[in-house]
Chains A and B, each alone.
Chain A
Amino acid sequence: MLKVEHLKKQYASFSLDCSLEVKPGYVTGLIGQNGAGKSTTFKAILGLIHYQGLVEVFGKSVLNEEDKQLLGVVLSDSGFSGYLTISDIIPILKHLYKSFNQTFFLRMVSQFELPKNKKIKEFSTGMKAKLKVIVAMSHQAKLLILDEPTAGLDVIARDELLDMMRDYMAEDDQRSILISSHISSDLETICDDFYMIHNGRVMMHEDTDVLLSDYALLKVDFKQFEQLDKDYILKYKKESYGYSCLTNQKQYYTENYPDIVIENGHIDDVMTMMIRGE
């Protein structure tokens, strides 16, 4: 569906070298701190910036107008002109997308209680975010590229949007989503796999199931740390009580070190340890 190999982009104080893949039927997450290179990666995939390396969407390196019909996009910092209203954008979408589903679009607009005749620039952050996701999902896209789609939403609205994404995937098992979010719980519940990006480099790629089942945070005091088998410790970090250690072999430590505190791994913990740990 989407293949990125050594996508390189050089800015004055930042360089990106990123590889990732989104398989058909997969929801793939891209996580990282602000400025890690997530948006640059998205922009390169969408052909918005010039780059070096390989980006293939639907097996093609250059997207034509027909290919773009099959893409649904949410960008965190960009959308339809704020001077337009929802009523204005309906005929625009109808003439741009061959498969625009107006009934679905209007149903979602009323479900999320979005005003049809108010200028988008007068919308709240949450309303704008909802509209962006509805637009992306309203034309039977094969691949959704969603950069921070849940930013600025409250918990209920976030859950509603995540449900929409699940329904969207359930409708067709060949659809895929590439999604970035700073809310890790969103990604844990929806992503099949995820890539962690830091300073423009992919630090980690893992299946979400594996992360949740095999990764763990060991909390040990100084003495326990000295005695600990460090073969399966990926990263460790000094804490006030001793050390916190990240492992991808939870079972091994659960069986062999029954006295130490072992917490299940979550994306946030893994990201913090991968970035801050030694």
Chain B
Amino acid sequence: MLGLLIKDFKLMWMQKSFFIIIIVVGCLLTMGYNDFTFMVGFITFILSLFTVSSISYDEFDNGYPFLFTLPFSRKTYVIEKYVFGLILGLTGWLVSVLISCIMIIMNGEKITLDIMIGGLVILPMFLYIQSLMIPIHLRFGGEKGRYALIASFGIIFVIGFGIIKVIELLQVNMVPMISSILSMGPAALILILLVVGLLIMLISLKISLSIMNKKEF
């Protein structure tokens, strides 16, 4: 696994100038909008894109067949991609939170609870996006993966819309449920979102494993 992580970080390191640009753009946009949580979301999501870009690098120039003759299993490969994603996402999140805090303090403002919640909410969102992108990219590859990702957002929207319609048809009163969730407070809410995110990631990992086990190179 360590060898694979080194490979992905080496490939990512090639794009170091791109990272610097992202951070600079993130800082400029943050100052422009005067919204410090924007920075956290922006950098975390851009960094998480590198997980799928590492899959594209593996595929590049028919690289998969040789890669899978190296001493690791398909399972290790898939797990490594999630680990790589988590390392990137968490590092990106921490760095961007740090930069945001510095910028807030330099701006003479205080770090409020709202800002902290805004930053923390990015973490579960990041888990959901990684969980969606990795299996899609493994199944469809770089080019088709982009279309598949757009299609999957569409499908999620349709499913969400369908659920709302069903609830309406069944005349289920959701208000007590929603208000009880909101009454839990932001910390508990974020915790729930994180646990749900981790569960979704586990399901996504299972799906990715099954995709890779079926693949032929």
Interface of A toward B, CB cutoff 8 Å:
43, 46-50, 64-66, 68-69, 71, 73, 75, 77-84, 88, 91-97, 121, 145
A79 and B61 CA atoms in complex are apart in Å by 9
Contacts of A94 on B, CB cut-off 8 Å?
A: 3
B2, B3, B7, B62: the one contacting A78 at CB < 8 Å is B62
Asked if A48 contacts B216 (CB within 8 A), the reply is yes
A121 close to B61 (CB less than 8 A): yes
Query: Beyond A78-B65, A82-B63, A84-B10: 20 further Cβ-contacts under 8 Å?
Result: A43-B217, A48-B68, A48-B217, A65-B72, A66-B71, A68-B71, A68-B72, A71-B71, A78-B61, A78-B62, A79-B63, A80-B63, A80-B67, A81-B11, A81-B61, A83-B60, A92-B7, A94-B3, A95-B3, A96-B70
- Write out the residue numbers on chain B whose beta carbons fall within 8 Å of the beta carbon of A91: 3, 6, 10
Complex Cα–Cα for A71 and B66 (A):
12
* 3 smallest beta-carbon distances between A and B, as pairs: A96-B3, A95-B3, A68-B71
Q: State whether A73 touches B216 (Cβ < 8 A).
A: no
With the chains together, A71 CA to B71 CA distance in Å?
A: 8
* Contacting residues, chain A, for B69 (C-beta < 8 A): 46, 48, 68, 71, 73, 75, 145
Q: Which of A43, A68, A83, A145 contacts B70 (CB 8 A)?
A: A68
B216 touches A49 (CB 8 A): yes
Contacts of B63 in A (CB 8 A): 78-82
Interchain CB contact under 8 A, A65 and B216: no
B interface majority secondary structure: helix
Smallest distance from the beta carbon of A246 to chain B beta carbons, Å?
35
For the complex formed, measure the closest distance between the CB of B202 and the CB atoms of chain A, giving whole angstroms. 23
Cα separation A229 to B57 with both chains bound (whole Å): 61
Partner of A82, one of B10, B60, B70, B71: B60
Residues of B within 8 A of A43 (CB): 65, 216-217
Task: Report A-chain residues with C-beta under 8 Å of the C-beta of B71.
Answer: 65-66, 68-69, 71, 96-97
On whether the beta carbons of B60 and A81 are closer than 8 Å, the reply is yes
For the complex, give the distance between the alpha carbons of A145 and B70 in Å.
12
Which residues of chain A are within 8 angstroms of B60 by Cβ–Cβ distance?
81-83
Contact between A88 and B66 (Cβ–Cβ < 8 Å)?
no
A78 proximity list for chain B (CB < 8 A): 61-67
Known contacts A43-B217, A68-B71; is-contact A88 B65 (Cβ 8 Å): no
Q: Given that A81-B7, A81-B57, A83-B11 are known contacts, is A95 also in contact with B2, CB under 8 Å in the complex?
A: yes
Shortest distance from the beta carbon of A178 to any chain B beta carbon, whole Å: 13
